[in-house]
Amino acid sequence: MTPSQTIGPFFAHALFQNHHVVPEGAPGAFWIRGRVFDGAGEPVPDAMIETWQEEGFGRCLTDAQGHWGVHTVAPAGCDFIAVSVFARGLLRRLVTRIPMPATDFDIVLQGENETTFYEY
């Protein structure tokens, strides 16, 4: 059996990013933006965020200050958007949910203000 490896680093020049789940100007479209922080409250500059919903999927890398953003719509018949978080030091992706109608959603990987993560 091969031992587990940590996720990342990601190579921005080689990864497909999709900041737009729906096109600009789509009815009901809006941006969800946030930052990713580690347990010490420092931004994570090399995380990857994926959102999944019936309307499509988004993928983006965080910038040097941990910012990320996805242009989307509220999911039909659901009150959240599913999110996968990949980052250095993780053995597996983390899964959380963005409640609707949130437009700002920071992700804290551990510590006192840790985001709620779900088993998958």
All structural domains of the chain with their residue ranges:
1-120
Pairing of strands 48-53, 80-86: antiparallel
Start-to-end CA span in the chain (Å): 22
Q: What is the pLDDT of residue 12?
A: 56
1-120 CATH, one of 3.60.20.10, 1.10.3720.10, 3.40.50.1110, 2.60.130.10 = 2.60.130.10
What pLDDT is attached to residue 6?
A: 57
- Cα–Cα distance measured from residue 46 to residue 40, given in angstroms and rounded to the nearest whole number: 16
- The one-digit pLDDT tens for each residue of the chain (120 residues) are 555 555 555 555 567 788 999 999 999 999 999 999 999 999 999 899 999 999 999 999 999 999 999 999 999 889 999 999 998 888 889 999 999 999 999 999 999 999 999 987
Q: For 66, which DSSP code? A: -
Instruction: Give yes or no for a contact between 76 and 55, defined as CB atoms under 8 angstroms apart.
Output: yes
